[in-house]
Structure 1
Amino acid sequence: MKKTRRKLPDPTHIDEAEKQILEYSRTVKFTVTEYSFEFIVQKLNSDRYYVPDYQRALVWNQAKQSKFIESVFMGLPIPFVFFWQDKDGRMEIVDGSQRLRTIRDFMADKFALKDLETIPAANGLRYTDFSGARQLKFAETAIRVIILDNTTDEVTRTEMFARINTGGTTANDAEIRRGSLPGLFMDLIVDLSKKPEFIDLTPISPQLVDKREREELIARFFAYLESFKPDSAGGDGDIPTYREEPRRFYFTFVKEMNERIAAEIAATGTSPLAAAMKDEFERVLAFVNKVSPNGFTKSETGNQVPRVRFEAIAVGSALALRADPTIFDRVADISPLLESQDFATATTSHAANVKSRLLGRIKLVRDWLLLK
């Protein structure tokens, strides 16, 4: 069977990849060291090492804590812990907070071991129930630590947490942004996510609600809409700042909006930007409620809102309304578009974050509405 020769990539493609690798690698500087359990517990208790807000709600149950302590007794390797040194010299635990909190709580006798299978004789025992020699060996156990330099920016730090988290209980992007980026724009997102009109249009599972999925949808809506430049790409529109790195794109956008709104309020006591964003979001909700019988779902009984579907309908509608406000009264039903093969193809999850597909699904809705 004749083999098909693979077409070699264009040299500019390789150069661009190399450029991005170098740019990113320069943002990550770190040192590697080892600390004993006893040393780390002392630092945790003095608040020199701390768990950031976006990880505080993530807590192992007693069985998982016990399994980790059993692994330590067995002499198994302990994964690296990642710290980031903040501007005050304190250490934020980027990854490993579950392990470190478990070590601290065990040494403080806060839980007894349970459900152990390899060392079942230790079930029911607390730290101080073991011999003095075993306690000392445990306290002197070393754990390897990677310390990120304080020049590592917030975006890189939280992206690293999302990528390297080894704790088994992870925060999602919405939770990380809410914990890492407190501010007035983040408050606006949270407030809008609780609006009854939005909840009615986005029926999702309680599990997704708990994971702040509605906040994620709103953050994406504003990030795409406010970053869209209608005069770019020969007048067809583009999102120039989107480089197919969605986590970094959303994080940077939320941070910038927090700063812009705070600056407006500091200068005048009010934020026209925040008010305009709130009004526009509510107008889009009213429009979708009017023209889409099923809101952002696929059917009357739908209980999920795929992100690609939400982005297409919400951002596409907002762009159309910006270009021609009379659409609000002229268009009565968007169902023919939403039930079309073109829309189904544009909103498949395959390669959803590729820029061309993102722009394609948004513009499909925008252009369909503008032609009505």
Structure 2
Amino acid sequence: MKKTRRKLPDAAHVDEAEKQITEYSRAVKFTITEYSFEFIVQKLTTDRYYVPGYQRELVWTPAKQSKFIESVFMGLPIPFVFFWQDKDGRMEIVDGSQRLRTIRDFMANKFTLRDLETLPAANGLRYMDFPVSRQLKFAETAIRVIILDNATDAVTRTEMFARINTGGTTANDAEVRRGSLPGPFMDLVIQLAADPKFVKLTPISQPLIDKREREELVTRFFAYLNSFDPTLDNGDGDIPKYKEEPRRFYFSFVKDENERIASELEHAGASPTIGVMRGEFEKVLAFVEKVSPHGFTKSQTGNQVPRVRFEAIAIGSALALRSDPTLFERAPNLTPLLESEDFALATKSDAANVKSRLLGRIKLVRDWLLKK
């Protein structure tokens, strides 16, 4: 097979990569220390160290807890735990909550060791069943801790959690945002995700519902739509803040909207932004119900809504309605576009987060509607 010669990147490409690496590395500063199990358990008990909301429902099974305790007894290395000190001086557990909660619960005699294979003689025992000397050795076991600098923002912390999580059970982005970025905009997202019409137009499986997929779709809708500037790119429109870092883009958007709406509520007692967002979302749902026989799915019996498909239809429709409100009454049938090869190519899942692909699928629907 003939090898194709790799095209070397130009200097601008390399410079942009170096710039991103430098900017991100500046945001991550930390110190390293060691604490004993006994010390950490005391802090957990007094709530000085705490598990953030997006991790509270992530719990190891009894078998996995037992396996971890067995590893400690065997003297195996324990992975680092990551903390972040909040503005009140308390320590948020960014990564390692499963291990620390397991240590706390074992020392509190809340579970019995089970399914151990290397140390099977310990099966059926609790902490209090071991000799005092073994209990003391366990309590004095040291665990290395990385404490993130206080200036590390929520976006960076939660992105780190998603990347370095060592617990084997991870929260998805929607769950992390819900837990780490509470506020009036996040409340609106949760409300709209449960809207009966939206539920009807987005038939998805129960596992995806449990993972808050509809909240993810609503967040993407507002993040892309309200960041779209139609005056850029010679009037064709662009999303200038989107740099092909979707997780950071969504987190920053939610954080900014939470703060903006909270400010409106504080100064005026009401938020015009919430009313506008809710109204536009409901209008788009009503429009999609008119123009797309199967809503955001591919068929009458469809039970999945690919994110790329949702983004194309929802945001493309919203931009078209912003440009020409009379479209709502004309409501052209969107089926010819949805069944076209152009739409199939635009909504392929590969390279879905590349900015050109994102803009391409949104503008395809927008432009098709505006020509009708």
TM-score range, shorter chain: over 0.9
2:171 aligns with 171
Identity of aligned residues (%): 79
What is the distance in 2 between the residues matched to 1:246 and 1:182?
Answer: 19
How far the C-alpha of 1:331 sits from its partner, in A, is: 2.7
Equivalent pair of 2:66/2:116 in contact (CA under 8 Å)? yes
What's the offset of the Cα at 1:85? Answer: 1.0
Counterpart amino acid of 2:295? G
Q: 2 CA distance for matches of 1:138 and 1:263?
A: 50
Matched, 1:338 2:338: yes
For 1:313, the equivalent position in structure 2 comes to 313
Partner of 1:194: 194
1:80 matched to 2:80: yes
Deviates more, 1:176-185 or 1:97-106: 176-185
Q: How far apart in 1 are the matches of 2:369 and 2:9? A: 39
Does residue 1:217 correspond to 2:217, yes or no? yes
Provide the residue aligned with 2:16 in structure 1: 16
Unaligned segments of structure 2, at least 5 residues: none
CA distance in 1 between counterparts of 2:266 and 2:7 reads: 57
Distance in 1 (alpha carbons) for counterparts of 2:7 and 2:343: 32
Aligned to 1:327: 327
Aligned twin of 2:66:
66
Where do residues 62-141 of structure 1 align in structure 2 (5 Å cutoff)?
62-141=62-141
Larger mean CA deviation between 39-48 and 211-220 belongs to 39-48
Alpha-carbon contact 2:112-2:125 (below 8 Å) kept:
yes
Secondary structure of the residue aligned to 1:94 is strand
Q: How does 1:256-295 map to 2 (within 5 A)?
A: 256-295=256-295
Q: What amino acid is the match of 2:272?
A: P
Read off the aligned partner of 1:131 and give its amino acid letter: P
Shift of 1:264: 1.3
Give runs of aligned pairs for residues 22-61 of structure 1, distance below 5 A: 22-61=22-61
Superposition deviation, residue 4 in structure 1: 4.3
**2:287·2:331 contact (CA, 8 Å) conserved in 1?**
no
Partner of 1:352: 352
Residue identity matched to 1:282: E
1:179-207 Cα distance to aligned partner (Å, 9 max, x none) = 11111111111111111100000011111
Deviation at 1:340, TM superposition (A): 0.6
Q: Partner of 2:104: helix, strand, or coil? A: helix
Aligned CA distance change for structure 1 residues 4 and 311 (closer, same or farther; 3 Å): closer
**Aligned amino acid, residue 338 of structure 1:** L
The equivalent residue for 1:151 is 151
Distance 1:193 1:20 in 2: 33
Shift of 1:213: 0.6
For 2:368 and 2:316, the matched residues in 1 are separated by 9
1:215 and 1:271 map into 2 onto residues whose CA distance is 21
- Structure 1 range deviating more: 96-105 or 8-17: 8-17
Instruction: Quote how far apart the aligned CAs of 1:247 are.
Output: 0.6
Q: Deviation at 1:109?
A: 0.2
8 Å CA contact retained: 2:332, 2:369: no
Name the CA distance, whole Å, in 2 between partners of 1:291 and 1:252. 32
Aligned length in residues: 372
CA distance in structure 2 between the aligned counterparts of 1:144 and 1:202, rounded to whole angstroms:
45
1:5 deviates by 3.6
